[in-house]
Amino acid sequence: MQNETSVGERLRSVRKAYGFSQRRLAKLSGVSNAAISLIEMDKTNPSLGLLLRILRVFPMTISEFWDVEPGISERAFFTRQDLTKVSTGPVTYWQVGDASKDSAFIFQQERYTAGTDAGETQTPEDSEMAGIILEGKIEISVGDQRRVLHPGDAYRFNGKIPHRFRVMGKSDVVMVSCTVPPSF
């Protein structure tokens, strides 16, 4: 008996298993984000050529694609090259896995170049932010609290509270952080 799972369900399952957002899959495949979204929602059936173009992003054959069962476990391991690099001036983030709006959290490595003052910011809604400093020293202000953190020190606060990150000294700061739910 042939499996009745749709192309859209299979594609969504494979994409999530590899930790890709629809946007990242679109960029890597050269297919528009809108087209991928429509396919995943079963609003359109892709031609074989279009499907093959999308599947070239993954190390699988078309027959392996048809063997996919939705709900396969999500990707568990990532190399440095698999991380999504996001740069915002003197701050660089390497996001682990899919950081789309349907993710429960964002987990990333951050690098702040020496002299960086990220300015005061806050998230529009409640979000928990936490991190551990790996290298350098950084001053973090949260509301009326302020502390200089060194390697091994950590922070945790509600992102809705105004906060600021400012590098102290002449060395870059590297940290690992998590935000629940994702704020960007």
What six digits make up the tokens of 142?
């949260």
> What number is the average pLDDT over the span 55-74?
76
Which residue has 């200089």 as its token pair?
Answer: 148
pTM beyond 0.75: no
For the chain, the structural domain boundaries read 7-67, 80-180
Topology adopted by domain 80-180: Jelly Rolls (2.60.120)
What are the tens digits of pLDDT across the range 18-61?
A: 878 899 999 999 999 999 999 999 999 999 999 999 999 987 88
Confidence check: pLDDT of 88 > 60: yes
From the options 3.40.50.12160, 1.10.3720.10, 1.10.260.40, 1.10.1740.10, give the CATH code of 7-67: 1.10.260.40
Q: What Å distances lie between residue 62 and 48, 49, 68, 133, CA to CA?
A: 9, 11, 10, 44
